[in-house]
Structure 1
Amino acid sequence: MRPQLAPAFRALLREGAEQSDAAGEADREALSALRASGLLATAVPAAHGGAGGDATAVNAVVEQIAAVNPSVAIIAFQHFAVSARIAERGTPHQQTRWLPPLADGTWLAASAWSENGAGADKQNLSTTAERRADGAWLLNGSKAFTTGAGVADLYLVLTRTARPAAATAGGYGAAGQTFFLVGADNPGVRPELGLELAGMRGSATGLLTLDGAIVPDTDRLGPRDEAALIIAGVRESGASLGAVAVGTAQAAFDLAVAHARARGLMDRPAVRHRLVGLATRLEAARAVVERAGARTSADPGLTTLHSKLHATEAAEEICLDVARILGSAGYRDGARIGRLLADARGISLMGPTNDLCRDLVAASWTG
């Protein structure tokens, strides 16, 4: 059964989308409602107070949120991703400490992997983690395009802990990299916003500076120098950014239907057939995302990559077609279809970017 957002929550998300897009910052009221909604428990095991949902459940929840507010959906997606990594790779102590507050919305999680100059494949990191004599780690560097910067309570930070090896063609991440769970209250953590993105303007995507952040070894996630194994497992999970794209495309399609009904155009076969064509492309994108979440294919990781590629490209095409259908009604400054089109384009640039997805798919053919 597909999730249905509470009407009051849906209305708040829609209002927040308009305000945050205009201001270029996250809507705190909408995020507070997300924390209280119970949805953040989706990817947390029931043993730790969560809903025990799999990738299918995660994709469905993300799509429903994205159909109203894509920026909040991408924040939720990152929260689910970090929650799942702790559930899969965390120590019993880490799971007991972090999963319950991530489930009940006390804490919101975000990923901090990307860096300027590191490349989409995350193989040239400059952010370092150095082991101190007391066993703790000293983190220094700057992470770029961190979704949820300044609103998250916990960051999953990708660092370099060994001398970088030669880049691996077709890879994502490299040997000598390690993940750390870093609280937003760490004195060495400083979020910075103001990137002025064209799309996903309410996603609080910005920089995260690590300036002498001291992190105990107990907050290291997974083995030292083997973050690439965890990164590879993310694709295998079936949770797909394509779900954000499908929700965004659904919002655009709903605009087209409402426009046709309001102007009495539904009795025209050409209009109906054009809308059916959009609906068919939307259902195809939804189907490939659902297949990724179900993990029923011979190569679930490859299906997840395909789902992001197909869904994001379909979403951008659907949004553009809807803009053409709306004509002058969608050409006004601040028109919702313009925001949705920019959001759809933004999803293709989120990691792994669509170009990197293509490289990873092509690498699977050559081994």
Structure 2
Amino acid sequence: MADPDIDELTGPALSAAEAARLAELRELLAGCDLAGDAHPADALAKVVAAGFLADCVPAEHGGTERSITFAARAVEEVAVASPSLAWLLTIQYGLHFLLPTLTSGGGGEYFAEIATNGALLAGSHARSGLAVTRDGADLVVTGVLRYCSGAPVARWITTTADLPEGGGTVFIRDDTPGIRCEPSTELHGMRGSLTGFVHLDGVRVPPHRVHPFLDLNDPSVRPPACRYFGGWHSLLLQNAVFVGAARGAIAVATPILGARGGRLGPAGSALLEAALGAAATDLLQARAILYSRVGRLEAAALAGTEQRNAADPAHTALLSSIAALAFSAVSRLVEHGGGATLLTANPLEAYWRDVQLARVAEGTQRTSATHELGHALAARAR
């Protein structure tokens, strides 16, 4: 399926400028070496240099202020080439959209570095694993942030923390005394996501880099300049990784299964063609769900109701089905490709490995989503 065909079938509708920007991204990725398990540092540097990080930074801070729709398409496009690299980009875009909410509209310090220097952010939710005390106006943080994607190359580390006065988000610059990052070398998958362990030893955080949690259910606390309010962005963009991984897997599997079908004769060839067709059907369903939700949340953002819409259990359950459909698509191809697809030299192996890992990396989202939806349905029946 060519890109214009799949966009026409499942969306999203892009402006001419957005379509041209995606074409630039595809061309850039085509010139990068993303084969095997090498960390895609070269590709990441090119993405940053080409200004793709600044694409989702507000215009007032020097960015292009592109939409969630564009970000999802960009992540999907990167995942076609490398799901690992796309996972890292997902974290960047997710945090860019979340920053105005996290900082109550005061994210200029971080946005300025993103737009001018291509600074990366790394995020963690290790609040329970940190010891946080207060020394004067500063926080003092000690502990380890595990599996912090992008940390080895990030300028800013963000983490949730149990503050003395309640929960909040802490921003730590990479040159702060007491911070040390070590790359993790024993990951089972997503080896290109530049994941690392961040050690914090008495790190001092000034008060302007500490942001208490907002009540996301209270629209009155929405910052005036906040285009997208709430904490739903990352989950939405993570699903673009699944869709892109399925697309990439189909692209590399088509010639592999075609060659195998030629050796198996007409019956075997028909079986493999059916597998390709079934995988493509899974992909189209996953993609249609993703961009339907993206479009609805774009519309809700104009009305200021996107956080409420995203909190609907049915929304989360729909998104969780995307991972299952993508996994189904890639698994079909692996099953019909034979044992050779399990070798690391086979390009299909990386997509299969990464799409499984991504289902784990997103946590217990699918289990939680199905439980919440079932609970909501049962409550209505009572």
Partner residue in 2 for 1:32: 45
CA contact (8 A) 1:83 1:102 kept: no
Q: 1:76 offset after TM fit, Å? A: 0.8
* 1:1-367 pair list within 5 angstroms: 1=14, 3-13=22-32, 15-20=33-38, 26-90=39-103, 94-104=106-116, 106-114=118-126, 125-133=128-136, 135-162=137-164, 176-223=166-213, 233-235=230-232, 239-262=236-259, 269-294=270-295, 295=297, 299-301=309-311, 302=313, 305-353=316-364, 354-362=366-374, 364-365=376-377
SS in 1 for 2:152: coil
Q: Residue 299 and residue 338 in structure 1: after superposition, are their counterparts in 2 closer, same or farther (change >3 A)?
A: same
Distance 1:307 1:239 in 2: 11
Distance 1:284 1:105 in 2: 39
Q: 1:142 offset after TM fit, Å? A: 1.3
CA contact (8 A) 1:41 1:102 kept: yes
Distance 1:197 1:228 in 2: 37
CA contact (8 A) 2:258 2:272 kept: no
CA contact (8 A) 2:290 2:322 kept: yes
Percent sequence identity is 22
Partner residue in 1 for 2:11: none
Q: Residue 152 and residue 362 in structure 1: after superposition, are their counterparts in 2 closer, same or farther (change >3 A)?
A: farther
SS in 2 for 1:234: coil
Distance 1:109 1:185 in 2: 13
Letter in 2 for 1:299: N
CA contact (8 A) 1:289 1:304 kept: no
Distance 2:237 2:118 in 1: 25
Q: Residue 187 and residue 365 in structure 1: after superposition, are their counterparts in 2 closer, same or farther (change >3 A)?
A: farther
Letter in 2 for 1:38: G
Structure 1 stretches of 5 or more lacking a match? 21-25, 115-121, 164-175
Q: Residue 148 and residue 365 in structure 1: after superposition, are their counterparts in 2 closer, same or farther (change >3 A)?
A: farther
CA contact (8 A) 1:149 1:207 kept: yes
CA contact (8 A) 2:98 2:233 kept: no
Distance 1:207 1:359 in 2: 32
Q: TM-score, normalised by structure 2?
A: 0.78
CA contact (8 A) 1:44 1:51 kept: yes
Distance 1:29 1:188 in 2: 28
Distance 1:315 1:222 in 2: 36
Letter in 1 for 2:111: L
Distance 2:55 2:93 in 1: 7
Distance 2:62 2:40 in 1: 27
CA contact (8 A) 1:239 1:304 kept: no
CA contact (8 A) 1:158 1:227 kept: no
Distance 2:135 2:118 in 1: 31
CA contact (8 A) 1:36 1:104 kept: no
CA contact (8 A) 1:58 1:239 kept: no
SS in 1 for 2:202: strand
CA contact (8 A) 2:181 2:196 kept: yes
Q: 1:321 offset after TM fit, Å? A: 1.1
Distance 1:333 1:78 in 2: 26
Q: Residue 330 and residue 283 in structure 1: after superposition, are their counterparts in 2 closer, same or farther (change >3 A)?
A: same
CA contact (8 A) 2:216 2:230 kept: no
Q: After alignment, is 277-286 or 233-242 more displaced? A: 233-242
Structure 2 stretches of 5 or more lacking a match? 1-13, 223-228, 301-307
Partner deviation per Cα, 1:237-284 (whole Å, 9 max, x = no partner) = 873311111111111111222224446759855443332221111011
CA contact (8 A) 2:344 2:350 kept: no
Q: After alignment, is 306-315 or 75-84 more displaced? A: 306-315
Q: 1:344 offset after TM fit, Å? A: 0.6
Q: 1:357 offset after TM fit, Å? A: 4.0
1 or 2, which has the higher helix percentage?
2
Letter in 2 for 1:18: G
Q: After alignment, is 103-112 or 291-300 more displaced? A: 291-300
User: How many residue pairs end up in the alignment?
Assistant: 336
Distance 2:134 2:275 in 1: 60
